[in-house]
Amino acid sequence: MDSKGNKGRNKLAELVRSNRRLTFGEQLRMIVSLSIPAILAQLSSIIMQYIDASMVGRLGADAAASIGLVSTSTWLFGGICAATATGFSVQVAHLIGGGGIQEAKSVLRQALVASLCFSAAIAAVAVSISGPLPIWLGGNEAITEGASSYFRIFGLFLPALMMNFLGGSMLRCSGNMVVPGMLNVLMCILDVLFNMALIFPTREVTALGMQFTLPGAGMGVEGAALGTALAELVTMTLMLSILCFRDGDLRLHGFKGSFMPTRACLKKAVRIGLPMGVEHFILCAAQILTTVIVAPLGTFAIAANAFAITAESLCYMPGYGIGDAATTLIGQSLGAGRKDLTRSFSTITVGMGMVIMTVMGAIMYFGAPVMMEIMTPERQIIDLGVMALRTEAFAEPMFAASIVAYGVFVGAGDTLVPCAMNLFSMWAVRLTLAALLAPSMGLHGVWIAMCIELCFRGLIFLIRLRSDRWMNSKNVTKLSDD
């Protein structure tokens, strides 16, 4: 299977580097072949969030709200890790597209050391703020203790999350979408098993007419955090093992060569990743402020908001999967100097994402009650969540445009302007409208603001995509750069 995967990735690189004009059918097959594993990886990640939400939801509204309160903060730290990984993996995509396999391996070696050191530093920050964080976010006494414990465990395992992101993004940018997808499915399965063992106490279970005792640690919210962290740790170990010892393009033979990060590599990683990291920081700060806006609406609103966000993620995960494929294809095409192919791939991937997420939006609109009932038995939370999902369904086509176009820009190393666009859209449109509408319309007003903002964001991303200026980014890594 590894040999077959290597041949497929080599064929991809060869087609991109050739001067032959690729037909629409060939381009579409390449996009689909990369998108399907990436979508499966996104799906498994979303299912894992569903599992956490549904299991914790069975513990009551307070437990659900305690996780919902700090969810935007976990996204903040996770997004910083993802941006760091992207700063290195995009360089690898450019170098592979240009035929520089050894240079790509050099970037990988440097990325391993730099990422591990950086993740240890932000883990220390996360753990240090875990105590006061729920109070800063406006949580009441019933949920602050659980929220603090959840975030502390999350922070302790940030290095595992960082290295998991790095391994997966390196494999994807080399054209290997299958392994990250399979390992993310495995992580989902492990999350179920660990959560079942850690969240609930020892209990009697009846199945197929038989009754038996199912052991459990009864850790509640802390068990949800630890179960997810352990699943990430196992997946990270397998991901890095395959990347460093088995992957054909990036396998490190005997770990020969320097692991010391060079100034040139770090500078390029910062130029690509820093705008994404700053953007994610400010975006999540905006999402945290949204949580502060929602918090006074009560425990049910906090839980419904968190559950609706998790439920909606099933709708937009195809967009992120196609966006991952676009990053690989755009990165390798520009690395090979094929601007014609770059432009064509960008158009097809964005169009495909918009069509698929339009369909998913319709499914979410009609399936909203079932999606919420899976996660909680509380009728008030279900009703609020259904209202939120049906409001958001109308924004999905334009949300797709922004997601996939962003993946295109990242593949080109063009991150600064798109990041600024995201920030303006979130702060000037969403937060302003949410602050105005929430006092009179409650949670409905917050989600109306979100719907309007996502449509605006998609529009400005389509305008930039049409301009072609993103293809002239100075951050395209070439062999002479290393």
Q: What is the pLDDT of residues 399-449, one digit of tens each?
A: 999 999 999 998 888 888 888 898 899 889 998 999 899 888 989 999 999
- Asked whether residue 1 carries a pLDDT value surpassing 50, the answer given is no
Its pTM stands at: 0.72
196 found inside a domain? yes
Query: In the Cβ-directed half-sphere of 92, how many Cα atoms lie within 13 Å?
Result: 30
349 found inside a domain? yes
Count of residues making up the chain: 482
The answer to whether 470 and 343 have CB atoms below 8 angstroms apart is: no
17 found inside a domain? no
User: Please, which pLDDT band fits residue 368 given cuts at 50, 70 and 90?
Assistant: very high
339 found inside a domain? yes
- Asked whether residue 369 carries a pLDDT value surpassing 90, the answer given is yes
213 found inside a domain? yes
Q: What is the pLDDT of residue 148?
A: 95
In terms of Cβ atoms closer than 10 Å to its own Cβ (0-12, 13-18, 19+), residue 118 is: middle
Domain, as residue range, for 296: 2-6+22-471
Average pLDDT over residues 87-111: 86
170 found inside a domain? yes
15 found inside a domain? no
482 found inside a domain? no
| Count: domains in the chain | 1
Q: What is the pLDDT of residue 42?
A: 66
